[in-house]
């Protein structure tokens, strides 16, 4: 069983909303930092949002602050990325990630800090 399984991608018009889900195979994967990354064609994978499993603190990339919200459902080993007011520049493949251990104080851990990754889900925003 894959450690992380994503769902919820799709196509939406500018200004629309989507919610991505990431379900973990074990609750232990939700102990530390749970994150969402995205990668657009020809660009580096970038951190979008992170949720600290201990205290519930969240951090966001400046490009999505006020529009995206990361949350969790511990009972179902799942975390979410609610994306509102979507823009064309949000178009990318989105990945969930788990396993980083330091995501407090406004910090977004880098890609190399995460041990586990989802398979990716495509989000396309068109005008």
The 10s digit of each residue's pLDDT in 29-63 is 999 999 999 999 999 999 999 999 988 899 999 99
| pLDDT tens string 84-108 | 999 999 999 999 999 999 998 889 9
pLDDT of residue 32: 92
SS3 assignment, position 92: strand
- Per-residue confidence (pLDDT) for residue 60, from 0 to 100: 97
Distance CA 111, CA 44 (A): 10
- For residue 37, what pLDDT is reported? 98
In sequence order, the 6+-apart residues with CB closer than 8 A to the CB of 113 are 33, 99, 100, 101, 102
Q: What's the pLDDT band for 1 if we cut at 50, 70, 90?
A: confident
Determine the Cα–Cα distance for residues 52 and 70; give it in Å rounded to an integer.
10
Give me the mean pLDDT over the 63-77 stretch: 97
Query: For residue 58, what are the CA distances in angstroms to 33, 61, 63?
Result: 9, 11, 15
């Amino acid at each position: 069983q894959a450690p992380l399984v994503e769902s919820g991608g799709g196509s939406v018009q500018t200004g629309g909303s989507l919610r991505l889900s990431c379900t973990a195979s074990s609750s232990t994967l939700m102990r530390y930092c749970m994150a969402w990354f995205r990668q657009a064609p020809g660009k580096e994978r970038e951190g979008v949002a992170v949720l600290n499993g201990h205290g519930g603190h969240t951090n966001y990339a400046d490009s999505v602050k006020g529009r995206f919200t990361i949350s969790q459902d511990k009972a179902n080993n799942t975390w979410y990325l609610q994306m509102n007011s979507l823009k064309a520049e949000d178009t990318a493949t989105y990945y969930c990630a788990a396993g980083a251990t330091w995501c407090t104080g406004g910090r977004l851990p880098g890609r190399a800090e995460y041990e586990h990754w989802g398979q990716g889900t495509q989000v396309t925003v068109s005008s």
